Amino acid sequence: MSDTSEHWNTFGDGRTVTPAEFVAAAAALLDGAVHAVSGPSAEIRADLVAGLEATLDPAGPYATLRLDTSSTGNEARRELAAGAAAAGALILDLVRAGTGSREGRAIADLRSPCVGYGWTPAVVDWLMGAAGGHPARNLYNEWLYQLVLLRDALIPFDPSAETRLLVTAEGLRGIADERDRFVMELTTRRIAHRSVVRFAAAAVLGEPGPARPSAYGFQWPGGSVLPAVVSRHDLLAPRYQLSWSPDAVLDGEEHPLFFVPAAADYLELPRRDLADLPPTSPSDGPAADRPVTARLVRGPSPADAGTATLDLAGDPETGLVRGSAASADGWRVDLGQALRGHRYALRPDAAAEPGPLPETTVVPGRRLLPEPVLFTAAAGRYRVLTEGDPLLALAALGRIHPDANVLYSGQNWPSVRSAAHRSAPVTLLDLRP
């Protein structure tokens, strides 16, 4: 049996919920708005849902987040715009599949401060005309605003449907200021990755985390958020979007912990020219045929309070090895630097025809891993072999200076050159087996 309540949900002081659970609870607002308007319920509901669709459209006249402007040279905006479209589509699918609030709440009215979003003509006719009224306008305004906040809170995540967000009795209103900050940066400049992580933390933890460090992910006792490439094991995964996981990376931590690169400025790291790489390496022996596996461990580098570094840890026999502790004789690659390399790496057009490359100097990727430097190329054209192993490729990116590296998967040379904006990229990271 339905009960009338001043709150449209039972989230209380804080609960983590999926997008589906949030949309189902917010349906109480839509139900209340429909019931408060005099007229055919099915038609009213259809028009109000169509109004939501127009509000979530990133290109239309009622858009609440305009991302249809040119993103030439702005890969972050292009990627996050695709995330916004995916999140909007998910929300609309959930709304259309629902039949009302799962919690059976009946909301007669509430106070919903106006946020200035435009309404479609059909919504205006229903809510502002004789058939509508103040309660209907309040309920629709709150429903619209909550689902816009949900769409924007999901933009940093891929996939968005599996993400769990922290919500309260106010729904997602607690992230409003961080949302405005995030949207401003997203729409006016090339957004920094730390800003994506900051907003994701506000949506998942209820706090944006430390302001100074450039965090690339975070964990808390109930899970973790890291760049999508870490969980998907695909070097062509999104560079800026993140994946939510119910598992923490480091055990025994009772408070949120933000992961930062070991080097705040990679330009200060020692460098070495690829031409100076020794002609032989332990990895060239029998271990060269063994698969590269890995695990994440806490990095040795000092970090500010509430932060930590993460390393990919390995040993000299098999490359990177899963286990309970890093080998004392092994080596490490800072995950933060590897992720920097992944974000900065260039990508040829995926639809480009395959074709031969000019002559390159071939370097086995695992040869780079034991060297605690960033490799550069003063001259020549290098192709780093990854054996088709995404882990080896990611680790290798942590050992190559992130300047015009190309994630190569067989495209023709004109496509590679176009991506690199020069005739001789520093390195081609060959993703093929």
Q: How far apart are CA 332 and CA 119, in angstroms?
A: 55
Share of the chain above pLDDT 70, in %: 89
**Domain finish residue from 161, 182, 201:** 161
Q: Tokens 């192709």 map to which residue?
A: 383
Question: Torsions phi, psi of 427, nearest 5?
Answer: -145, 150
381 domain residue, yes or no: yes
Q: Are residues 272 and 405 in the same domain?
A: yes
Tell me, yes or no, whether 272 and 410 share the same domain. yes
Whether the per-residue pLDDT at 323 is higher than 50: the answer is no
Given 112, 127, 161, the domain boundary residue is 161
Residues 156 and 297 placed together within one structural domain of the fold: no
Residue 256 in domain: no
pLDDT band at 238 (very low <50, low <70, confident <90, very high): very high
Burial of 295 (0-12, 13-18, 19+ CB in 10 A): middle
Is 252 domain-assigned?
Answer: no
- The mean pLDDT value of the chain amounts to 88
Task: Examine the pLDDT at 330 and tell me if it is beyond 80.
Answer: no
pLDDT at 240 over 90: yes
- The count of other CB atoms within 10 Å of the CB of residue 84 is 21
Q: Is the pLDDT of residue 280 over 60?
A: no
Assess contact for 147 and 91: CB atoms under 8 A: yes
Q: Is the model more confident about 420 or about 92?
A: 92
Question: Does residue 427 surpass a pLDDT of 80?
Answer: yes
Alpha-carbon distance of 82 to 404, in angstroms, equals 24
**What percent helix, strand, coil does the chain show, rounded to 5?**
35, 15, 45
- Same-domain check for residues 276 and 145: no
pLDDT at 236 over 90: yes
Q: Does 390 map to a domain?
A: yes
Same domain, 34 and 155: yes
| The token pair that represents 236 in the structure block | 């062509």
Rg (CA), the chain: 25
Is the residue at 362 inside a domain? yes
Q: Give the DSSP per-residue string, 23-86.
A: HHHHHHHHHHHHHTSSS-HHHHHHHHHHHHHHHH-SSSTT-SS---S--TT-HHHHHHHHHHHH
At residue 265, does pLDDT exceed 80?
yes
Tens digit of each residue's pLDDT (9 = 90 or more) over 22-62: 999 999 999 999 999 999 999 999 999 999 999 999 988 99
Burial 331-370, CB ≥16 within 10 A → b, else e = bbbbbbbbbbbbbbbbbbeeebeeeeeeebeebbbbbbbb
Predicted model pTM: 0.92
Task: Assess whether pLDDT exceeds 60 at residue 326.
Answer: no
| Same domain as 285, residue 425 | yes
Given a cut of 90, is residue 247 above it in pLDDT?
yes
> How confident is the model at residue 289, as a pLDDT?
63
- With respect to residue 350, please indicate whether it lies within any of the assigned structural domains: yes
Number of domains, the chain:
2
Does residue 179 have a pLDDT over 80? yes
Please indicate, yes or no, if residue 205 is contained in any of the structural domains: no
Q: Give the model's pLDDT for residue 210.
A: 80
Q: What angle do CA 356, 358, 363 make, to 5 degrees?
A: 100
Are 151 and 17 in the same domain? yes
Q: What is the pLDDT of residues 187-213, one digit of tens each?
A: 998 999 999 999 999 999 999 988 777
Structural domain of 92: 3-161
67-114 pLDDT per residue, tens: 887 766 788 999 999 999 999 999 999 999 985 555 556 788 898 888
Closest CA to 373 of 273, 299, 300, 270: 270
Domain-located, residue 339: yes
Peptide bond into 159 cis (omega under 30): yes
Q: Give the bridge partners for 132, in sequence order.
A: none
Res 325: pLDDT: 37
Of the two residues 121 and 98, the one the predictor is more confident about is 121
Where a domain ends, among 117, 136, 161? 161
